[in-house]
Amino acid sequence: MKLYHVETQENYDALMVELEKEGYTWLHNMAPTKFNAWTSFLEDTVIKKTENGKLKHADRNYYLCNEPDTIIETYKAKNPESTDAEKLATTWKELMESHLIESTDTSDNINNPEHYTAGGIETLDYIKAKVSDYPSYAVGNIFKYVSRYEHKNGIEDLKKAQFYLNDLIEWMESDCK
């Protein structure tokens, strides 16, 4: 018996291909690649290889509590491209160069996208005029963009958070008008 923790859908898919090649099936003789158990527990998914060639799945905490003496191995998909250091370096360089080109764009999609001025008034100016507690609005946006940056828009979200922080500081220094 062996336990595999799969943190991503990619890792789950790769493990299922490997287990199918080894002859494993789910309890009802379904091929591993024909059933997506990862969606049940997402990053907490653990796959159990049984002695009789069958697969089971459960939440990581289930196996930690019910089979505490069994080691849970974190399974990572093997990426053959990442072993080629030269190819990796070239790809990285191309990615960085394309990012630098994108970054020199003069439009300001972070602080002042075009759709913010629809109707002839800056959206933020309108919000400041109508929302009685502008600091709470700004702080809410700061938290929103900082907390999601890793999962959504990366540095663009951090720049949006920075924009709201700078605007809040400027608003407070101007006697909150």
Q: Residue 157 sits in which domain range?
A: 111-177
In the prediction, which pLDDT does 57 show? 93
What average pLDDT does the structure give for the chain? 80
Which pLDDT belongs to residue 164? 83
Domain assignment present for 40: yes
pLDDT reported for residue 127: 72
How many residues are there in the chain?
Answer: 177
Count up the domains in the chain and report the number. Answer: 2
pLDDT for 153 equals 82
Q: For the residues 22-47, what does the mean pLDDT come to?
A: 91
74 and 126 share a domain? no
**Do the Cβ atoms of 137 and 131 come closer than 8 Å?**
yes
Pairing of strands 54-59, 25-26: parallel
Q: Give the strand pairing for 72-74 and 2-6.
A: parallel
d(CA 159, CA 153): 10
d(CA 25, CA 155): 43
pLDDT digits (tens, 9 = 90+) for 54-77: 999 999 999 999 999 999 999 998
Q: Is residue 158 situated within a structural domain?
A: yes
Scored b (16 or more CB within 10 A) or e, 116-155 reads: eeeeeeeebeeebeeeeebeebbeebbeebbeebeeeeee
| pLDDT tier at 88, thresholds 50, 70, 90 | low
Give the residue carrying structure tokens 């309890």.
27
User: pTM of the predicted model, to two decimals?
Assistant: 0.46
Q: Among the three residues 59, 78, 97, which one is the final residue of a domain in this structure?
A: 78
String of DSSP letters for 38-66: HHHHGGGEEEEE-TTSEEEEEEHHHHHHH
Confidence of residue 121 (pLDDT cuts 50, 70, 90): low
Co-location of 115 and 51 in the same domain:
no
Q: Which of 55, 78, 101 is the last residue of a domain?
A: 78
Residue 124 — pLDDT band, cuts 50, 70, 90?
low
Across 3-10, average pLDDT: 93
pLDDT at site 103: 47
Same domain, 59 and 119: no
Q: For 136-150, what is each residue's pLDDT tens digit?
A: 778 888 888 888 888
CB 37: neighbour CB atoms within 10 A? 18
